[in-house]
Structure 1
Amino acid sequence: MTRSVPLIIVTLGALSAFTPLAVDMYLPALPALAEDFAADAGQVQLTLSVFMAGMAGGQLLYGPVSDRFGRKLPLLAGALLFVAASLGCALAPGLDALIGLRLLQALGGCAGVVIARAMVRDLFAPQEAARVFSLLMLVTGIAPIVAPLIGGYLLTWFGWPSIFVMLAGTGALALVAAQISLPETRPAGGRLTLGSALRSYGLLFTDRNYVGFALSNGLSMGSLFTYIAGSPFVFISLFGLPAEQFGWLFGANACAILMAAQVNRRLLRRYGAASLLTAGSAIAAVAALVLVVFAAGGAGIWGIAPPLTVVVAMTGMVLPNGVACAMASQGERAGSAAALLGSLQYLCGGTAVTLLGLWPAGSAVPMATTMAACAVTGFTTRLLVTRRPAP
């Protein structure tokens, strides 16, 4: 490999950042969308849940395609679709149109997520891959720090359509960077059929460790996306925090994820990824239960924020270790394995957000309880389903 490894990691991180950008940048606009389209919070949150459904389903397509036809062409095609759908969102005349375009945006953006993971698996050994995934979280972690801040100011100055114009421009820059800096890590070969794709996924479902690590990761993602979907209404609508200040609060929690990911990268020099995954899952579960108690007790913003930050921060430890453990033994099926892993993450995330939307609004209890259900179940899954040490 003749190209710069740091440049490859930065570019893969930028492509992986399509998802946090497309979610986090428009978070401050959720209440404004509800007002503009005369919709309630649950209806507007469908723009999040359908995005996650698109992320879940689209990755299942990109995985086998990238295993058979190479990584780079599907990656570039997905980035192009993301750019076009983002421009469409900016022009959406109503909520139904926005929901449909968000689905297309997700189908484009998920290419970066799944193929970036497959490329890391192509290029690095398992323990080193865990450290690279932590570095990717450092790159992608910049997105949730700056995205709500940018989104809040764009909303204030130009209105919510400007947020999607910004996403289209960012996607276009990432597309150019991918074309210039990324090598092809898996040359095209073989023939893709529906049967071969289904066989690959079937073999993955028979791998107990893979399923256990993937579900543990997915449930952690469910907790994270519950926070993403619920926090604007809790902090802006319930606690009266201005949109711009919410961006700073959201950015602080994103910094906590970054810090946990980088601590995890250092700990990987001494401990295995599976052990650190267990520790992170346990801490998240305990903190989420504390969050439920505080929310049920009517705690204000300073009571809710600390345990919430701990739960969110632990995704910086759970996700990179879970991905590395799940992908460790999936050499020939790396694309399909990355796709199914990502699909389960966003299926769990979308389900959690949909369930959150069914709760009556008016308190922080729905967000806290849904996060706790995901965190506790994720920790239990890690303990009961996986059965042998992983790298």
Structure 2
Amino acid sequence: MTVNASPTVMFLLISFGTVLGIAGTDLVLPAIPAMPTALGGTTALAQMVLAAYAGGTLVGLLAFGELGARYSRRKLLVWSLGLFAVASLLSAYAPTLEWLVILRFAQGAFGSGPAVFAPGFIHGLYPADKAPSMFGRLGSIESLTPALAPIAGAYLMTVGGWQTSFLMLAGLAILGAVGSWAYRQSLPDRLEAPEVHQSYMSIIRNGDFLRHGLSQALSLGSILIFVFGAPAVMTGTLGMTIGDFILLQVFGIALFILASNASNALARRFGTERMIMIGTGGLVLGFFLILLYTSLGGPSLSVLVPLWMTANGAFGIRGPIGFHQAIVASRGDHSRGAALVVAAILGITAGGTAAAAPFINIGWWPLALASSLAALLALLCLTLIGSTAKEAGDC
């Protein structure tokens, strides 16, 4: 049985699926310290529970990108959520930490489908002039997950132990799979094979895609590098509390949401390429000011919070329209295009985080330096890689 639904309902369903993939890390995060005691193993092996999920996500992105270019995205979305539910349920009953690591790889791979298919669905549900706004709203919803999911995960730990987060993910994924199947006729599907791109390499060779896709990945990567390293710097090196980190995140996310929802209106008024460039420039400025302040020994949150808000607001301006431009540049091959952008974000974030990790005990500035370099590279991509694209407003 299938039923029809409005674009708004389908947008919420799509958002639900992408949030589940993100929650696969953040909801489980509070349970990690308890796993060595519960399942046996070392603290280092427990960290592999997070790393395996990230590795599986990377593999899943590229696999679903290829599958989405060949087969029905409607059916693939249902399979993705259904298999994610199975992997989550099996993870809850993993007999050892080693088995949990293996299952987490599968969970990450299966859970990456919605992130790949969401851009194509949104592009099909909304006209070209409204799609960037919906990317902004999707980003706003997704940005709340890293802030709220760990709080929910900590509560679930007190209710039923480390398994509860996995059972919650399984239950939510089943709901998502059932909803996706019931409303599948309302989801836009791939009508025909893309005429221009036939492989990942052919998309990468497109200068417009490379320019916008790489600058988008570097821009978001700069934000995530700072976020991933901030708790260790604040609670370890600087002797602050996790509450201070939450405060930093709340202000940053709030301005990101405001800016991302204004992004498309600004682009229509002043031009898409101009706003992407202004937003990226603001991102560079924000991180360079953070780097300057922290290099001089500045520890005050009263200064860091406004600077962090500057970086988040700047990314909010360029994020939705930049991602939309990358998807448009994939010329109909939305699944592969989205997979490449998200995979690049993961790779850049992992590389930047790993590069800053040995110097975290110094303080803020190594983290600020890694984020500043990523943001600067994003600006250089926009400046140095040639574009033949028209303004997004014309697309």
TM-score, normalized by length of structure 2?
0.84
8 Å CA contact 1:69, 1:187 repeated in 2:
yes
Name the residue aligned to 1:16: 18
Name the residue aligned to 1:233: 232
1: distance between equivalents of 2:99 and 2:270? Answer: 48
1: distance between equivalents of 2:145 and 2:128? Answer: 26
Name the residue aligned to 1:316: 316
Indicate which of 118, 121, 126 corresponds to 2:120. 118
Name the residue aligned to 1:63: 65
Aligned-residue offset at 1:9 = 1.2
Query: Equivalences for 1:86-235 in 2 at 5 Å?
Result: 86-91=88-93, 97-155=99-157, 159-182=161-184, 183-187=186-190, 199-235=198-234
Name the residue aligned to 1:327: 327
Amino acid of the residue matched to residue 219 of structure 2?
Answer: S
SS at match of 2:189: coil
Q: 1:23 to 1:57 in 2, by over 3 A?
A: same
Q: 1:96 to 1:386 in 2, by over 3 A?
A: farther
SS at match of 1:17: helix
Q: 1:363 to 1:99 in 2, by over 3 A?
A: farther
Instruction: Indicate the structure whose relative CO is greater, using CA pairs within 8 Å and at least 6 residues apart.
Output: 1
Amino acid of the residue matched to residue 299 of structure 1?
Answer: G
Query: Equivalences for 1:15-54 in 2 at 5 Å?
Result: 15-27=17-29, 38-39=42-43, 47-54=49-56
8 Å CA contact 1:60, 1:339 repeated in 2:
yes
Superposed CA deviations along residues 43-65 of structure 1, whole A, max 9, x for unmatched, are 77655555444333322221231
TM-score, normalized by length of structure 1?
0.84
Aligned-residue offset at 1:382 = 1.5
Q: 1:220 to 1:169 in 2, by over 3 A?
A: farther
8 Å CA contact 1:133, 1:324 repeated in 2:
yes
- Please, what is the CA RMSD of the aligned residues? 3.3
Q: 1:19 to 1:373 in 2, by over 3 A?
A: farther
Aligned-residue offset at 1:210 = 0.5
Aligned-residue offset at 1:278 = 1.2
8 Å CA contact 1:82, 1:168 repeated in 2:
yes
Is 120-129 or 44-53 further displaced after alignment? 44-53
Is 93-102 or 218-227 further displaced after alignment? 93-102
Superposed CA deviations along residues 328-379 of structure 1, whole A, max 9, x for unmatched, are 2434422222222222222222222332334453522332222112111111
Is 84-93 or 51-60 further displaced after alignment? 84-93
Q: 1:364 to 1:162 in 2, by over 3 A?
A: farther
Of all paired residues, the percent bearing the same amino acid is 22
Higher Rg of the two aligned structures: 2
2: distance between equivalents of 1:256 and 1:27? Answer: 25
2: distance between equivalents of 1:289 and 1:35? Answer: 42
Superposed CA deviations along residues 7-27 of structure 1, whole A, max 9, x for unmatched, are 111111111212332233345
Q: 1:359 to 1:238 in 2, by over 3 A?
A: closer
Aligned-residue offset at 1:108 = 1.5
Name the residue aligned to 2:254: 255
Q: 1:118 to 1:187 in 2, by over 3 A?
A: closer
2: distance between equivalents of 1:27 and 1:312? Answer: 23
Q: Which runs of 5+ in 2 are unaligned?
A: none
Amino acid of the residue matched to residue 223 of structure 1?
Answer: S
Alignment length, in residue pairs?
385
8 Å CA contact 1:56, 1:344 repeated in 2:
no
